[in-house]
Amino acid sequence: MRASRRNLHALLSPLAKQRARRPTRTAPDENPDLQALWHAVAMIPAGQVSTYGEVARAAGLPGRARQAGYALRISPAHLKLPWHRVVGAGGKIVFPQSSRHFREQVRLLRAEGVAVKQGRVSPAALAHL
């Protein structure tokens, strides 16, 4: 019995050390990466759009386009970010064409004078942050 407890402890010990090394999660409002991404989105001028990848680069997080999308998805409503000004690579709206989000993004972009044709924005509307 004693030997099996030692073996169990030896097996679990590395797991306990791994858990202890994990960084603690912070609230989204306190995460500097998310704040940088939100700031980059807020800097996109009206009538222009930027890609998720460009937003990530502008925030100092190159290669994290997916994190830019995540940041927009969880952004607090009180920030009132212009989420509709962020599109996928090549100016493509990333939402499915039949979705409510697609229609809302197209409506908001057109209201700002951005041409949207077949789910893509005009290359002239792409802003470089």
Residue 102 vs residue 18, higher pLDDT: 102
CATH tag, 24-125: 1.10.10.10
d(CA 31, CA 33): 6
pLDDT digits (tens, 9 = 90+) for 26-57: 566 688 999 999 999 999 999 999 999 999 99
Res. 21: pLDDT tops 70: no
Full-model pTM? 0.77
What's the one-letter identity of residue 11?
A: L
With cut-offs at 50, 70 and 90, classify the pLDDT of residue 69.
very high
pLDDT, the chain, mean: 86
pLDDT at residue 23 in the model: 55
At 5 the pLDDT is 56
H or E stretch covering 121: strand 120-121
**On the CB side of 112, how many CA atoms lie within 13 Å of its CA?**
19
pLDDT for the residue numbered 30: 81
More confident residue, 119 or 1: 119
CA torsion sign for 32, 71, 118, 114 is: negative
* Pairing mode, strands 86-87 and 116-117: unpaired
Q: How confident is the model at residue 129 (pLDDT cuts 50, 70, 90)?
A: confident
In this prediction, residue 8 carries a pLDDT of: 53
Domain ranges in the chain are 24-125
